[in-house]
Structure 1
Amino acid sequence: MTREEQKEERKQAILMTALRLFVEKGYHETKVSDIAAAVPMSTGLMFHYFKSKEELLMALVIMGQKYTGATGEYGDIPGDLFLKGMIGELFKYAKKDPFVANMFVLMAQARRAGMPEEIRKVASSTGAVENTALLIAKGQKEGIFRQGDPKLLAMCFWSAFQGIMEEMTIDKNLDTPDPEWLVAILRA
């Protein structure tokens, strides 16, 4: 393995360790020394990779933001089938890799008051609710989805999903629900 590959591997280890600790303990309660000890590496060496805990959190939030683009890529697929398939895939990935559930939880935490403002701004700019609201509005015209404020319906849908992801970070053996249950929130 080259030196650059080792450096990248170590950086990824820091990111994944920080993600897990931020979700388990909370961002404010997690110390840089906690992350370094769990990697394991010295705190000083960790600062060669990330200058601060805030920079580390921003890197994770930017990573999370990149994963939300799929919510706007539904094309001509009926909205209910798109959401059911997308949620099913997310559940499948979350069961295989705790990264998925952890990232959903972290992104929700990053939008809360008390987080650094720039991080809140980036975490709030994912567009998942807005993209889903557009899909719901289209589905309402087609008679697939119930009437009501599309953005509010999208928030209900994603809030239910978010709650399941949070439970999955607590109980690693939790069975995921049938994606149809979540889509049923929206159906006409």
Structure 2
Amino acid sequence: MAKRDEQKEQRRKLILKSALDLFIRKGYGETKIADIAKAADMSMGLLFHYFDSKEKLYEELIRIGCEKLKMDFAFSNNAPLEVFRAAAEDIFNMVSTNPLSAKMFVLMENAQHLDSLPTDLKEMLSEADRLIKKSIPIIEKGQMLGEIKAGNAEALSVAFWCSIQGIAQFIALYPETPCPNADWVVSILENKEQ
């Protein structure tokens, strides 16, 4: 990559990081484009060279977050608990090694409550609901095998994924917090009576 292209990409990342920090701390409505430019240590003109508006910048952050939400359960041939353990380990590793990823969880949660988002972004955000739904057959398989506790599979899925969401959000707000062991969250699902 040419030095100029590399500099442009670094500036773009700095804008995204600065905007994410402000959206998390101040909220979307209270964050002004001038705040983002100041946090990124650049002029508003230069910022507008990268993003046409605060809305476009916010939408780009949501798109990035939605890409991260797309979990592939192609490895669902594994033991069901191992599928959930691997997912929790991946997310906790990402959150503990990249502080921005924890902040993405906060942004994505907040974005789900905005009425003004374009339809395509609302559709992307519904991936979180699909993740819960995609987990149900894996939980049911684990229940049949006796490794996942009895109970409503959808409720168990909600408990698992919302625990991960809550942990990531807490770490975003308190970055010095140690990341829990993935097994602690997996134990929500685990049948301990076998």
TM-score, normalisation: structure 2: 0.87
Q: Give 1:137 deviation, angstroms.
A: 2.3
Aligned pairs (5 A) from 1:132-151:
132-151=135-154
Structure 2 portions without partners, runs of 5+: none
Counterpart for residue 121 of structure 1: 123
State the number of aligned residues.
188
SS for the counterpart of 1:128 is: helix
Structure 1 portions without partners, runs of 5+: none
Counterpart for residue 174 of structure 2: 171
Q: Give 1:98 deviation, angstroms.
A: 0.4
TM-score, normalisation: structure 1: 0.89
1:146-179 deviation line (CA, Å, top 9, x unaligned): 2333222212111111111111112111112221
SS for the counterpart of 2:70 is: helix
Distance change (3 Å), C-alpha of 1:115 and 1:79: farther
SS for the counterpart of 2:140 is: helix
How far, CA to CA, are the matches of 2:171 and 2:83 in structure 1? 23
SS for the counterpart of 1:104 is: helix
Q: Give 1:74 deviation, angstroms.
A: 2.4
Counterpart for residue 93 of structure 2: 92
Kept in 1, the 8 Å contact 2:70–2:127? The answer is no
Q: Give 1:138 deviation, angstroms.
A: 2.2
Kept in 1, the 8 Å contact 2:76–2:138? The answer is no
How far, CA to CA, are the matches of 1:60 and 1:133 in structure 2? 28
SS for the counterpart of 2:168 is: helix
Q: Give 1:85 deviation, angstroms.
A: 2.5
Q: Identity over aligned residues, as a percent?
A: 34
SS for the counterpart of 1:73 is: helix
Q: Give 1:80 deviation, angstroms.
A: 1.0
1:5-47 deviation line (CA, Å, top 9, x unaligned): 2222211111122122212222222111111111111112211
Kept in 2, the 8 Å contact 1:14–1:35? The answer is yes
How far, CA to CA, are the matches of 2:16 and 2:137 in structure 1? 33
How far, CA to CA, are the matches of 1:187 and 1:115 in structure 2? 40
